[in-house]
Amino acid sequence: MKSGKIALVTGGNRGLGRATAQALGRHGLRVIVTYRGDAREAEETVRTIQETGGTAAALRLDISDVAAFPDFVSDLTARLERWGATRLDVLVNNAGVGLFGPLEAVTVEDFDAVMDTNVRGTFFLIQALAPVLADGGRIINVSSSLSRHTSAGTSVYSASKAAVEVLSRTLAVELGARGIRVNALAPGPTATDFNGGAMRDDARMREGLGAQTALGRVGEPEEIGDAIAALASEDLRWVTAQRLEVSGGALL
C-alpha cells in the first residue's frame, strides 16, 4: 500500500543501500537513491522499484564533498517539487567506506577518507537536510556490529561507526522536539561488495564468520534492507536514540 511518504537512501546504487531502497519501496514509500559515480547502477535500483509499482528517482551525491551539499539540497528540493512534495520523511545514511589494516599500516589519508565519509559526511548531511525533513520524520544511520565486538585491524572503521552511534543518540535529543526519531542500525557481516566482496565471495571467511554467529551464517543485503524499512515504519514510532544490531547474533 502506498504511504505517500518519501525516503532518501545514500549509496543506494548497490549493496545494502539498494536493498534498503527496494524494501522501502515495497513498504509503499517513494524513494530517492543517491549515487556517487555510477548513475547506471542507481538507475537499476530505480528500475527495480518501478517494476514492482513503486516510485523512485536517483540523484548524485558524494557525501565526502560537504561543500557541494547546498547544491544537493537544491537538486533534492526540485525532485520533491516534481512529486508535489516539500519534505522528506525518512533519511537513511547508508553510504560508507571500510578500511581494514593494522595500526602501522594506516596512513593519514586512509584515516581521513574513512572519517570524512562515515562521520563528517553523515553529520553534515543530517545538518543540511534537517530543514527539509518533516517533523515526525526518521533518520537511520548505518553503523556496524564492529562498534560492539572487536577484531584486530578494524580500529579506524570501528571508531568511525562508534562515532556515528554517538551522534545518532545526541541528535535524537536535539531533533526529538520536532518528533524526529534518530536511530543507528548496526549490520553484522553481510554479503555485498564491502571489504572487497569478502563476505560474499570468500568461502573461508563466510564459514569462519558464520561459525561465530548464533544463526550460523553471514547476512544477506535483503535482511538489512527489511530491518531498516521496519525501523522506519510507524510500528517502531516510539523507538529513538537506539542502536539496533542486525547481525544474526554475530560474535556474541
The distance of closest approach from Cβ of residue 65 to ligand NAP in the complex, given in angstroms and rounded to an integer, is 7
The answer to whether residue 36 forms part of the interface with ligand NAP (CB under 6 A) is yes
Confirm whether 157 is a catalytic residue. Answer: yes
With contacts defined by CB under 6 A, name the span among 7-15, 103-111, 168-176, 228-236 that binds ligand NAP.
Answer: 7-15
Measured N-to-C along each axis, helices 15-26 and 221-232 cross at an angle, to the nearest 10 degrees, of 50
Nearest Cα to 21, choosing from 63, 50, 62?
50
In the stretch 228-247, what mask flags binding to ligand NAP with x, by CB under 6 A? --------------------
With contacts defined by CB under 6 A, name the span among 30-38, 47-55, 79-87, 172-180 that binds ligand NAP.
Answer: 30-38
Longest dimension (CA), the chain: 53
Size of the site for ligand NAP (CB under 6 A): 30
The answer to whether residue 144 forms part of the interface with ligand NAP (CB under 6 A) is yes
The distance of closest approach from Cβ of residue 164 to ligand NAP in the complex, given in angstroms and rounded to an integer, is 8
CB nearer ligand NAP, residue 29 or residue 224: 224
CA 198: distance to chain centroid? 19
CA 166: distance to chain centroid? 16
Q: Which residues pair with 56 in a beta bridge?
A: 31
Of 69, 100, 157, 194, catalytic: 157
Backbone φ, ψ for residue 25 (5° rounding): -60, -40
In the stretch 50-89, what mask flags binding to ligand NAP with x, by CB under 6 A? -----------xxxx-------------------------
Q: Which residues contact 211 (CB under 8 A, 6 or more apart)?
A: none
**Residue whose cell numbers read 520524520:** 137
The answer to whether residue 133 forms part of the interface with ligand NAP (CB under 6 A) is no
The answer to whether residue 248 forms part of the interface with ligand NAP (CB under 6 A) is no
The answer to whether residue 9 forms part of the interface with ligand NAP (CB under 6 A) is no
Q: Which amino acid is at 241?
A: A
The answer to whether residue 225 forms part of the interface with ligand NAP (CB under 6 A) is no
Distances (CA, A) of 11 to 16, 32, 46: 8, 10, 13
With contacts defined by CB under 6 A, name the span among 45-53, 92-100, 206-214, 225-233 that binds ligand NAP.
Answer: 92-100
Residues 154-193 that bind ligand NAP (CB under 6 A): 187, 189-190, 192-193
- Render the burial of 154-163: b for 16+ CB within 10 Å, e for the rest: bbbbbbbbbb
- The contact set with ligand NAP (CB under 6 A) reads 10-11, 13-17, 35-38, 61-64, 94-98, 117, 142, 144, 187, 189-190, 192-194, 199
